[in-house]
Structure 1
Amino acid sequence: MFAAPVPGRTPSAGLAFPPLVPGRVHRWGGAALVLVRRADLDRAASRSPLLTPAEREVLDGLPARRRAEWVAGRVLAKELVAGVTGERAGGVEILPCADGSPRLSVPGLRISLSHTAEHVAAATAPGPVGVDVCETSSAPAVLRAADHVLHPGERRLAGTDPERLAAAWALKEAAVKAVRRGLAGEAPRRVRILGLTPPLLDGGHRALVRTAGTAVVALVLVPPTAGTR
């Protein structure tokens, strides 16, 4: 499913965030990240026998509107983990933890997933990892939620540019995923964005932001001592 891996690159002149080629595995900081267009992945997922019996049981309990994106995310993540480890994709199992975060059956690796109507992303790493995709078309929604999610300094960093607003949201979401918390309550405000270009977070969090068409994807790696469970 994937093209050849792309090594980490430094930002290119004139670009707010460097591009990520959809379908190519991007390796950075010990993590592997891939972003795929939903239209491409949905076609592959519809033919895929990769789900285990336990995963199919979870799928059967989901609302009909969520099933296609759930399958697409699992198929993408399984293919990514298989490419990283050499495991058979059909033997990789991803089930929800009690808090809803995905739990990977492969020892020594964590997994994170994200969906929009247009894209699906997956990331895997040996330690806590979070990935999030935000479409630039969601910038007005980010502005409406800014008082809850962003500190005043972070709002100034994001400004009104759709790509920067999407990046700020994706960074927050990826960071709280990595520590297995959600955007409800005070969790997002406990993660501070100190810079966007390049992305810089407090607390020892390491961050990457890339773009692909209308999508902005953020990857966050968190030290095990930073409140993860």
Structure 2
Amino acid sequence: MTRMTSAAVHTAHPAFQPIAPGHVHRWGGARLVVARRAGLHRAPVLSPAEQGVLHALPGRRQAEWAAGRLLAKRLVCELVAAPAHDVEILPRDDGSPCVVVGGSPMPALHVSISHTAGHVAAALAPEPVGVDLCETASAEAVRRVADHVLSPGELSLVGTDRPDALAGAWALKEAAVKADRGSVFGAAPRSVAILGLRPPVLGGRRRAMVWQAGEAVLALVLAHRAGPA
């Protein structure tokens, strides 16, 4: 009888269900698309303002920025039936992306973008949304900073022996911080409590889902904003 290694078991039994690349998926009212960067050959239609943002970025970041806008614009165009040249994805003062259609900001549409070396994803929703990708190959880096991001209870829940679980925990934290329009650096990730990983459950008025996207883990978080009493 052949003895399977721990890594082989993890590969054979992934923690999260797979998500098909290139297709628009719907979950919880959000639209989501993920793709391999190597499969994106079409350049996005960029406005002069977007081109200004693009050219101000370091050269190594320009391709990933453009890939993210290509997917985000696809989601917006399909939802509002607008031509690509009328849709802009521009940064707010805090750096988070906002949707502009025909020169007018669309505050009722929330967008989030994520990219890694191999993948890119975008999400669009009528409520604050965050999407994040984390390559399973980055699990060792996550393990090194886990004490700063995950509480002792979360570390016990997630464990440190599964690369996909570590990647999923990191992606959940960062997606939630994005939905709150915060930064993953500092205390913000600690304010997001992971109560469950399979299926994902977060504290507060948040809904979450996690998928396996090739060699990456993809997390989507929707944050309900409390209205006036």
TM-score normalised by L of structure 1 = 0.88
User: Which SS does the other structure have where 2:24 is aligned?
Assistant: strand
- Quote the offset at 1:89 in angstroms: 2.0
- Quote the offset at 1:88 in angstroms: 1.3
Matched, 1:78 2:73: yes
Residue pair 1:78, 1:90 contacting (<8 A) in 2 also: no
Alignment match, 2:178: 177
Distance 1:154 1:44 in 2: 41
Residue pair 1:171, 1:218 contacting (<8 A) in 2 also: yes
User: Which SS does the other structure have where 1:170 is aligned?
Assistant: helix
**Structure 1 residue identity aligned to 2:163:** P
Alignment match, 2:42: 44
Residue pair 1:96, 1:103 contacting (<8 A) in 2 also: yes
Matched, 1:69 2:69: no
User: Which SS does the other structure have where 2:94 is aligned?
Assistant: coil
Q: Which runs of 5+ in 2 are unaligned?
A: 1-12
Number of aligned positions between the proteins:
209
Aligned-residue CA RMSD in angstroms? 1.3
Large movers: runs of 4+ above 6 Å = none
- Quote the offset at 1:18 in angstroms: 1.1
- Quote the offset at 1:85 in angstroms: 2.3
- Quote the offset at 1:114 in angstroms: 0.2
Alignment match, 2:198: 197
Distance 1:142 1:20 in 2: 22
Q: Which runs of 5+ in 1 are unaligned?
A: 1-13
Distance 2:14 2:82 in 1: 37
Structural mapping, 1:23-172, within 5 Å: 23-41=22-40, 43-45=41-43, 48=44, 50-106=45-101, 107=106, 108-159=108-159, 160-172=161-173
Cα deviation per residue 1:127-147 (whole Å; 9 max; x = unaligned)?
A: 100000001000000001101
- Quote the offset at 1:60 in angstroms: 1.4
TM-score normalised by L of structure 2 = 0.88
Cα deviation per residue 1:117-160 (whole Å; 9 max; x = unaligned)?
A: 00000000011000000010000000011011111111122212
- Quote the offset at 1:15 in angstroms: 4.9
Structural mapping, 1:211-226, within 5 Å: 211-225=212-226
Distance 1:87 1:163 in 2: 38
Cα deviation per residue 1:163-199 (whole Å; 9 max; x = unaligned)?
A: 1100000000000000000111110000000000000
- Quote the offset at 1:44 in angstroms: 1.5
Distance 1:15 1:67 in 2: 32
Alignment match, 1:208: 209
User: Which SS does the other structure have where 2:16 is aligned?
Assistant: coil
Query: Radius of gyration: which is bigger?
Result: 2
Distance 2:142 2:226 in 1: 30
Distance 1:130 1:183 in 2: 12
**Structure 1 residue identity aligned to 2:224:** P
- Quote the offset at 1:103 in angstroms: 1.1
Distance 2:49 2:216 in 1: 32
